[in-house]
Amino acid sequence: MMSQITNEGLILACSAIGAGIAMIAGVGPGIGQGIAAGHGAAAVGRNPGAKGNIMSTMLLGQAVAETTGLYGFAVAIILLFANPLLGKL
């Protein structure tokens, strides 16, 4: 006996899958920020006098890289809790 899948159930299931896929966007910024921090630490080790310039440039780059992860998180939250697709039924 097959159970019936409602339109609402299908949209909720696909939205949950889409939210999970959107959270994959957090992997790239995490890797990039780790690499940037490692290179920044190595640069400070080579030239301790330039610590202020290196750190400020590194932190600015990490903040810009983090926006990709935050956009993915925002999309996931919207799909899970403010699902705009349910209004189309």
- Could you tell me the CATH number of the domain that includes residue 39? 1.20.20.10
- How high is the pLDDT of residue 44? 92
pLDDT in tens, the chain (89 residues): 567 888 888 889 999 999 999 999 888 888 988 998 999 999 999 999 999 999 999 999 888 888 988 999 999 999 999 988 788 77
Domain membership of residue 22 (yes or no) is yes
**Which pLDDT tens digit goes with each residue over 66-88?**
898 899 999 999 999 998 878 87
Domain membership of residue 20 (yes or no) is yes
- Total structural domains within the chain: 1
- How high is the pLDDT of residue 2? 64
> Where in the sequence is the domain holding 32, given as residue range(s)?
8-84
- How high is the pLDDT of residue 51? 93
Residue environment code for 15-50, b if the CB has 16+ CB neighbours within 10 A, otherwise e: beebbeebeebbeebeebbeebeeebeebbeeeeee
Domain membership of residue 1 (yes or no) is no
Domain membership of residue 49 (yes or no) is yes
Do the Cβ atoms of 30 and 69 come closer than 8 Å? yes
Domain membership of residue 56 (yes or no) is yes
Domain membership of residue 2 (yes or no) is no
Domain membership of residue 3 (yes or no) is no
